[in-house]
Amino acid sequence: MAKPTYDFAIVGAGIAGSACAYYLARAGRTCLLIEADEVASGASGFSAGLITPPIGLRLQPPMRELMLAAFDLHQELPETLGNGSGSGYELRHGGSVLVATEEAAAPALRSLLDDPVPRRRGARWLDPEQVGEVCPWIDQPQAGGIYEPSAGNLDPDRLTHAFCAAAQRAGARLAIDSVVSLEESGPGFRLRGSRDEYRADQVLLAAGPWTGTLAGQLGFKDSVNPLKGQILRLRLPPPHSAVGFSCPDGSYLAPRPDGQVWIGTTEESVGFDRATTDAARDLILARARRLCARIDQGEVIAQTACLRPVSRDGIPLIGPVPGIRGAWICTGHGRTGMLLGPVSARELVNLILERETALAMAPFDPARLGAASAPSGLETGESQ
Ligand SMILES: Cc1cc2nc3c(=O)[nH]c(=O)nc-3n(C[C@H](O)[C@H](O)[C@H](O)COP(=O)(O)OP(=O)(O)OC[C@H]3O[C@@H](n4cnc5c(N)ncnc54)[C@H](O)[C@@H]3O)c2cc1C
């Protein structure tokens, strides 16, 4: 029997690919979602799942509108995806404090509240003595902080599975296979996996940090790179609180509904290595200890490592693969892919279907990194 030709082959079932499959399938397109390992086996299964309202740099163009729309979309998603009916990924708005650990840093941090957007969401300045009252995890003196009551977190693995399941309910098919080669063939594309071959009229690359290798086969080189991050999952003695904290250096503590706290993180440019290390564990604990001395009484339950997809200029890549008709890319969301993945997918699908987008998408057009060169036709040889 002849193999089906799908409208779309989507490579990668992380948050980006699963959400793209969902929006395309819901629009009536036939979709094959191809995942090398398991759904959410990349960063989408192991991130901290912080759904943090944007502030500071994240409110600067070109990210401002995307960030704001992403945060708003997350408030609707539990209902859209059927949270509480088996796929519950537990978006909780526990609130969080962005901490000034030193006095010298406090004025600059406080000035972030000059922007009315965080203030409208209820963000407010905390004087030093209020920091530990609002966030009881913090038992060491701090110079102040911004309390963000709408900050939340969710289970990233479950959110990704919820999108994938919703895509399948809308008609998408999931294939577990590693795409090793990709080429234009007649009208459309031929994808060769380690198990099977597939044909699709259009292809959408959402393979996280591995997207660069696949896009390179279409001549779009050096688009995205991996940035490793590690997290510790702990149990800590009381008092517990739903309010977490983060610091301008990128470290954070996120309380989970099951009583665990997740603390992070690192930024390591070490290629595709996903091993956990003692050095990262020590660094994460040392940073957390500056705020929460109780950290040393904690029991480390797990240490995880995963890879963020980071584009060459740090801005997400959402749009056509330059010069290749019918090839699309959705990646490069770096540290905020759980927050941004759904809205990027929604807007990319609007672009693909030539519908009006809710946001100006030109700043995210991959063409800004340069046009594609002649396709190499090389095979990756990598499983993912
Ligand atoms: C430590 C850490 C903490 C983080 N915390 C947060 C946070 O709190 N909030 C937030 O918003 N973001 C956070 N992030 C970022 C977020 O996790 C990522 O940006 C996001 O998960 C990327 O999703 P993705 O779908 O693009 O990629 P991935 O999740 O990597 O998914 C890509 C998928 O493609 C598959 N694949 C790869 N190659 C192939 C192939 N050849 N064929 C078939 N399939 C393939 C992979 O197996 C994988 O499943 C964090 C990241 C890290 C590392």
Tell me the per-residue pLDDT of 183-231, one tens digit each, with 9 for 90 and over.
Answer: 999 889 999 999 999 999 999 999 999 999 999 999 999 899 999 999 9
The first and second tokens of residue 227, run together, are 């940035």
Helix (H, G, I), strand (E, B) or coil at 122: coil
Question: Which residue, chain included where needed, has tokens 């590693």?
Answer: 178
Q: What is the DSSP letter of 268?
A: B
- Is residue 54 lining ligand 1, measured as CB closer than 6 Å? no
pLDDT of residue 87: 59
- Average pLDDT of 109-122? 95
Whether residue 319 contacts residue 331, with contact meaning beta carbons closer than 8 Å, is answered with no
Residue 318's identity, in one-letter code, is: I
Residue range(s) of every CATH 3.50.50.60 domain in the chain: 1-93+151-223+312-384
Neighbours of 360 (CB within 10 A): 12
Cis before 101? omega within 30: no
pLDDT of residue 148: 97
The span from the CA of 368 to the CA of 318, in Å, is: 11
Chain segment 4-30, per-residue pLDDT in tens: 799 999 999 999 999 999 999 999 999
Chain segment 333-372, per-residue pLDDT in tens: 999 999 999 999 999 999 999 999 999 999 999 999 986 5
pLDDT of residue 1: 57
Burial 80-112 (b: 16+ CB within 10 A, else e): ebebeeebbbbbbebbbbbbbbeeebbeebbeb
pLDDT of residue 384: 26
- Is residue 36 lining ligand 1, measured as CB closer than 6 Å? yes
Chain segment 151-168, per-residue pLDDT in tens: 999 999 999 999 999 999
Q: Please state which of the ranges 17-26, 124-133, 240-249, 269-278 shows the lowest mean pLDDT.
A: 240-249
Mean pLDDT over the full length of the chain: 93
Interface confidence (ipTM) of the complex? 0.99
The residue to mutate among 58, 90, 265, 338, having the most atoms of ligand 1 within 8 angstroms of its beta carbon, is 338
Chain segment 243-269, per-residue pLDDT in tens: 999 998 889 999 998 899 999 999 999
Residue range(s) of every CATH 3.30.9.10 domain in the chain: 96-149+226-309
pLDDT of residue 90: 77
The span from the CA of 298 to the CA of 374, in Å, is: 54
The residue to mutate among 181, 335, 340, having the most atoms of ligand 1 within 8 angstroms of its beta carbon, is 335
The span from the CA of 341 to the CA of 356, in Å, is: 19
Predicted confidence band of residue 59 (pLDDT cuts 50, 70, 90): confident
The first and second tokens of residue 231, run together, are 């997290």
pLDDT of residue 383: 28
- The superfamily (CATH) of domain 96-149+226-309 is D-Amino Acid Oxidase, subunit A, domain 2 (3.30.9.10)
Chain segment 308-329, per-residue pLDDT in tens: 999 999 999 999 999 999 999 9
Whether residue 346 contacts residue 76, with contact meaning beta carbons closer than 8 Å, is answered with no
Crossing angle of the two packed helices 156-169 and 15-26, in degrees rounded to 10:
30
CATH number for the domain whose boundaries are 1-93+151-223+312-384: 3.50.50.60
